[in-house]
Amino acid sequence: MILANVRQHLTRDDAQLALRLIARSSSGGVEETETTLREHGIDALLDDPRLLAGLMAARQGAHASLPLFAYVVVRHALREVGEGDRVLADYVASILLHFGLGGRATRISNADDETYSTLAELSGAAESGDAARSLLVRAHLGNYALWISGVFPDYIEMRRWRRGGPDLEYYEEMGRRGFTLAADHRLAAEHGLTALFATAAERFPVLRQALNNISDALLFPDHHSPEKLMRQVRMEGKWMLS
């Protein structure tokens, strides 16, 4: 099962790289940044906007581990849309890392051979008689909906306009349903996951918007289409009214 544990897997090398990237643009240099790390912990470095800038622009940033890069990018994207929960940032970064691997996005776990290509298939399997598998399917319904609608929103928009496919709101609805069902599962309570899934369901639109921003800025910066323009205009209007 995908867990909010990316920060737990950050190493001493990750902390040292973060320290150096921040120190290079700090008037106090390495000593001041080391004091921040010692007194406030690594989260203070991970939240520093100079770290994101360094990862993107500095030559040293190319040596960042995938967990460090994924967490920092997601954390700052979420903060930009008003979401400050570190656990959510950890969880969304974990989804990106897991689903970025070949074939993982269509399977509920690494050990499960069955593949799901649609949200409808996942929704239909959510009531499995196997309790553990039922929780995995429910969580995966939320994860997969967030992955597709967050990272590939223009693919969804293109299918909607050209083939009559479901819109982004459908993915939000299904994603929220998956996380809500997962939060209600008795095994989620036993493993301390109820609050995480419930919060992901409640904040799904914000999580999706943050991933849309990452997709637009980092993954597909040179992709321009009418679907992308209309999506961005629609979301700007939505945020202005909220």
What confidence score (pLDDT) does residue 230 get? 57
Evaluate if residue 73 carries a pLDDT over 60.
yes
pLDDT over 80 (residue 15): yes
Question: What is the C-alpha separation between 113 and 106, in angstroms, rounded?
Answer: 10
Instruction: List the structure tokens of 105.
Output: 């996005």
Q: Residue 226 pLDDT more than 80?
A: no
Rounded CA-CA distance 1/54 in Å is 32
- Residue 32, SS3 per DSSP: helix
The model's confidence at residue 206, banded by pLDDT at 50, 70 and 90, is very high
93-136 pLDDT, tens digit per residue, is 999 999 987 778 999 998 888 999 899 999 999 988 899 999 99
pLDDT tens-place string over residues 18-42: 999 998 876 667 878 888 888 888 9
